[in-house]
Amino acid sequence: MTITAGHIRTTIAAYLDEHPEDRRELGFVLGLLDDGDDLTSRKTLPGHVTAGAILVGPDGRVLHILHNVTQKWLLPGGHLESSDETLLQAAGRELAEETGIPPHLVIPHNETPLHIDIHPIDANPAKGEPAHQHFDFRFLFRTTADIGELQSEEVSDAVWRTVDAFHDESLGRRVAQALR
């Protein structure tokens, strides 16, 4: 079973119960769902859903990966696949694929995303993709494992960083609060 519009709506509703201050921004995504857009397809424009992982190690630092295409330090994550049944599962799958950390060594903090971020993605002519947006559902995970074999097609490095290294202050506050 693949991720459905209903699942995306339910996940957003649970998230907004915890973070009502994000209602206006997520209204855009809900409007696209109302219009019948398939937000699970990476071909859907002006944007589509992605799933990300905020992985916290035993010392409280968060894993960041160096993404090959963007050459930016990012949280692990990516596009949904037809085999994904939930957004949480998609985030866990992307985490395992990109970092080589086995899923059995990773524990989700909650079934509700800690953060949903809407951000622009530059055009990628090599893939025939115009500029668009990602609606990134970010879930918090914990692990005692270290980085495994990186997915070299997409990731060239990985580091553990402190929570105060986040560029997004809202995300940094939420992670710090969840770790208390």
Q: Give one DSSP letter per residue of 28-79, joined into a string.
A: HHHHHHHTT--TTSTT-SSEEEEEEEEEE-TTS-EEEEEETTT--EE-SEEE
Predicted local distance difference test score (pLDDT) of residue 167: 85
Spatial separation of the C-alpha atoms in residues 71 and 59, rounded to whole Å: 26
In the chain, domain spans: 5-179
What is the CATH code for 5-179?
Answer: 3.90.79.10
Alpha-carbon distances of 178 from 76, 114, 167, 171, 173, rounded to whole Å: 19, 8, 18, 11, 9
Predicted local distance difference test score (pLDDT) of residue 69: 83
Spatial separation of the C-alpha atoms in residues 146 and 51, rounded to whole Å: 21
Predicted local distance difference test score (pLDDT) of residue 1: 66
Alpha-carbon distances of 136 from 104, 143, 147, 148, rounded to whole Å: 23, 21, 22, 24
Q: What is the pLDDT of residues 119-153, one digit of tens each?
A: 999 998 888 889 999 999 999 999 999 888 898 98
Q: Where are the alpha helices (DSSP H) in the chain?
A: 5-18, 23-34, 87-99, 169-179
Q: What is the pLDDT of residues 28-86, one digit of tens each?
A: 999 999 999 999 999 999 999 999 999 999 999 999 999 988 889 999 999 999 999 99
| Residue (of 148, 154, 176, 169) closest to 61 by Cα position | 176
Predicted local distance difference test score (pLDDT) of residue 8: 98
